[in-house]
A = this chain, B = another copy of it.
């Protein structure tokens, strides 16, 4: 084991700067890479496209690193100071992986068979997007379409909120939603938007086995061009008070309904 540890090279200053550049969207877009922090997230992503892992010098004997060494993934030793510099959180866990982004293609999502796809229209809060991706993974969604105006899913707050689910749900980015929703309908999918002013109450909706669920922005709801592209607007009935449900909560309630009450 000792000679393996010896093989982990010290991270150069240039590499530290390359990692740090990934805290900004421009840096991620230019390189096609993003950062994933923490031991648990690393364990969840272990089969993912990990490019390089920075590990604080006192943690090089962590057992999680064996699987990386076995796959010849470069491990770079960093000082405590550099570990803090490449971390986006205040309490660094001492491990940051650089991972290749994976984007899917929209045509794969509407293949024949049972399917649930989410389409997000301007979901701007990183915590909400991360929680939606985690929930989509739990309910086995085939994929998530990210319309223009959504926050970058490789933003570190999103990555953290997914709790490791980022690689479990194929994502398609920078989508023109009205066009893609039209394609979904042509492929026989029911396209439904969650809307607090929707005409159909949730209990009255029997979801199709091929279904696209559209969720709007936290502040403005779904945009008019997206509303015009759906079959149905469904609302979660209100029994108490409040202006609206949080968008991730609405996603969870509707996904649960789609899985448990669809037409069989």
Enumerate chain A interface residues (CB-CB to B < 8 A): 127, 131, 134-141, 163-165, 168-169, 202-203, 236-246, 248-250, 252-253, 256-257, 259-260
Contact = CB atoms under 8 A, between A and B. Distances in A.
A168 B242 contact: yes
A109 B256 CA distance: 28
A242 B137 CA distance: 6
Contacts of A245: 134-135, 138, 252
18 contacts: A131-B249, A134-B245, A134-B246, A137-B242, A138-B236, A138-B238, A138-B239, A138-B241, A140-B238, A141-B240, A163-B242, A163-B246, A164-B242, A168-B240, A246-B248, A250-B252, A252-B253, A253-B256
A138 B168 contact: no
A225 to B, nearest CB: 26
B127 A241 contact: no
B243 A164 contact: yes
B242 A138 contact: yes
A91 to B, nearest CB: 14
Contacts of A140: 238-241
Contacts of A241: 137-138, 140, 165, 168
Contacts of A259: 237, 239
B242 A165 contact: yes
